[in-house]
Chains A and B, each alone.
Chain A
Amino acid sequence: MIPAAFEYAAPKTVAEAIALLRGADSGGKILAGGQSLVPMMRFRLAAPNLLIDITRIPELRIFKEESGYLRIGAMVTHGELERSAMVGERYPLLASTARVVADPIVRERGTICGSLVHADPAGDWGAALIAARAQAVVTGPAGERTMPLDDFLVDTFTTALGEDEILTEVRVPTPPALSGGNYQKIERKVGDFATAAVGVQLTLSEQGAVEAVGIGLCAAGPVSLRATAAEGMLIGKVLDDASITAAAAAAATQAEPTADTRGAIDYKRDMVRVLTSRALHAARAAIRA
């Protein structure tokens, strides 16, 4: 399977890439790791006129903590994040997500930002980074704008990106003390899309009550979903078996999975319940004294 013909450009700066996008008159597409886009092109589900390869833009490789955020540039791969000692130590939600994205070879090329732009509701990063309350940094001809990831992910395969804009970075708030996080996923085999998955980011008070919590659901609707009801009922509560059970049930109620070869609706909804419970327990266990 060979894709439809296209022109190829490998700019050296973001400004150049945006100029190319503008010039392509909505026929341009950004190529980062290409682990979703290239298969789409080979199936001819996507047929851009111009592929703008951003892998040679050094500024997009930014990957560091700064001003209360972890900055993840557009060219940071799943594998790079998975191997980061800093992420392993301070961002257990991200570390546990990176380990289960696609397969180890795909993780070497695929990027976090590319996965978000692809906006597949079965993509892991949408759910995980909604739980982490990440910000999307979008760059266009007029400069940079920042929005909560919830607003960036609009619908299935649809984001808030304009035709001449690039997701240049995603910013994850550095968790305060007494925080933990975890990502739980059920998949039929490595590399398959999730049957169901849930990400949790949690902060407790000194007294053990839930001060902040984010819960993101993967493959549980047309877009990565925030389990708002479950989050709301946990705030201020002590995180014990009773409150976890109730929150997990609320997350399952909010989920809108569809039936496919991975399972029926009732089964998937129940897996959201099970995984929310497991992720909350594991997030609590990940809190360091």
Chain B
Amino acid sequence: MSHHIEITVNGTHQALDVEPRLPLVFALREMLDLTGTHVGCDTTSCGACTVLVDGTPVKSCTMFAVQADGCSVETVEGLAAGGELHPLQKAFWENHGLQCGFCTPGMLMTAKALLARNPRPSEVEIRRGISGNLCRCTGYQNIVKAIQQAAAEQSTAAAAGD
């Protein structure tokens, strides 16, 4: 039996009818055409499918869409505002924080949640924070550098805005 759910995705209200067994990631990719969120391992290991649900990072292959009823979901498509890259996206670009790019959507969403909770993380905190996201190009050095740069830019911007 399908269930009617209402979710907000990247600020847009969406009403969907979903079978309970549909993982959230497939609702995003196949029903809403938001294919920025990637399916990697499909078994809760790799973190490529990480999205934010009410601000919390979630492996969207390991949550059913029906569970997200009433929640706010944020995907990689929601990062760039008005054609401007998000500071994290810009930092990943500038630091070569990606090679093949497959893990990048998950890395970005995890990094966003990390910086929201801890605006100036140490290198160790960043490495611990992204330890649920696998990069098979082994670009961790540059991913860490990118997150450090975004953290520095965001806190400078926050200070300038005070």
Is the pairing of A and B real? yes
Give me the interface of A with B, judged by CB distance under 8 Å: 1-8, 10, 31, 34-35, 38-39, 41-43, 51, 53, 55, 102-106, 108-109, 190-191
Residues of B close to A108: CB separation below 8 A: 56-58
Task: Give 12 new A-B contacts, CB below 8 A, not counting A31-B67, A105-B50.
Answer: A10-B69, A34-B62, A42-B43, A42-B61, A53-B67, A102-B132, A105-B47, A105-B59, A105-B110, A109-B56, A109-B63, A190-B131
Contacts A6-B21, A8-B20; A38 near B62 (Cβ below 8 A): yes
Tell me the complex Cα distance, A163–B50, Å. 33
Taking a contact as CB atoms under 8 Å apart, the answer to whether B1 and A105 are in contact is no
Taking a contact as CB atoms under 8 Å apart, the answer to whether A4 and B21 are in contact is yes
Q: Could you show 11 A-B contacts with beta carbons less than 8 Å apart?
A: A8-B64, A8-B66, A34-B62, A38-B62, A39-B44, A103-B47, A104-B131, A105-B110, A105-B133, A106-B44, A106-B59
Residues of A close to B67: CB separation below 8 A: 10, 31, 34, 53, 55
Taking a contact as CB atoms under 8 Å apart, the answer to whether B132 and A106 are in contact is yes
Taking a contact as CB atoms under 8 Å apart, the answer to whether A105 and B43 are in contact is no
Taking a contact as CB atoms under 8 Å apart, the answer to whether B43 and A6 are in contact is no
Contact with A along B87-113 (1 / 0, CB 8 A): 000000000000000000000001000
In the complex, chain B residues 15-55 whose Cβ is within 8 Å of any chain A Cβ: 19-23, 26, 42-45, 47, 50
- Nearest residue in B to A5 (C-beta to C-beta)? B21
Contacts A8-B3, A39-B44, A42-B43; A191 near B62 (Cβ below 8 A): no
- Nearest residue in A to B131 (C-beta to C-beta)? A190
Tell me the complex Cα distance, A35–B3, Å. 22
Pick the contact of B131 from A7, A35, A103 — CB < 8 Å?
A: A103
Q: How many residues of B contact A (CB 8 A)?
A: 32
Tell me the complex Cα distance, A34–B58, Å. 11
Q: How far is the CB of A48 from chain B (nearest CB, A)?
A: 11
Tell me the complex Cα distance, A109–B23, Å. 15
Residues of A close to B43: CB separation below 8 A: 1, 39, 42-43
**Which of A4, A42, A105, A106 has the largest number of chain B CB atoms within 10 A?**
A105
**Which of B57, B59, B62, B66 has the largest number of chain A CB atoms within 10 A?**
B62
Residues of B close to A38: CB separation below 8 A: 23, 44, 62-64
Pick the contact of B57 from A3, A5, A42, A105 — CB < 8 Å?
A: A105
Residues of A close to B131: CB separation below 8 A: 103-104, 190-191
Q: Assess whether B78 is interfacial by the CB under 8 Å rule.
A: no
- Nearest residue in A to B47 (C-beta to C-beta)? A105
Tell me the complex Cα distance, A35–B132, Å. 13
Tell me the complex Cα distance, A5–B26, Å. 15
Pick the contact of B132 from A6, A39, A42, A104 — CB < 8 Å?
A: A104
Tell me the complex Cα distance, A128–B11, Å. 41
Residues of A close to B139: CB separation below 8 A: none
Q: Assess whether B119 is interfacial by the CB under 8 Å rule.
A: no
Sort A-B residue pairs by CB-CB distance and give the 9 closest, nearest first: A103-B132, A8-B20, A105-B132, A190-B131, A38-B62, A3-B21, A105-B57, A104-B132, A108-B56
- Nearest residue in A to B26 (C-beta to C-beta)? A2
Taking a contact as CB atoms under 8 Å apart, the answer to whether B129 and A104 are in contact is yes
Pick the contact of A6 from B20, B42, B56, B57 — CB < 8 Å?
A: B20
- Nearest residue in A to B58 (C-beta to C-beta)? A109
Taking a contact as CB atoms under 8 Å apart, the answer to whether A104 and B128 are in contact is yes
- Nearest residue in A to B22 (C-beta to C-beta)? A2
Q: How far is the CB of A37 from chain B (nearest CB, A)?
A: 9
Q: How far is the CB of A202 from chain B (nearest CB, A)?
A: 26
- Nearest residue in A to B129 (C-beta to C-beta)? A104
Taking a contact as CB atoms under 8 Å apart, the answer to whether B62 and A35 are in contact is yes
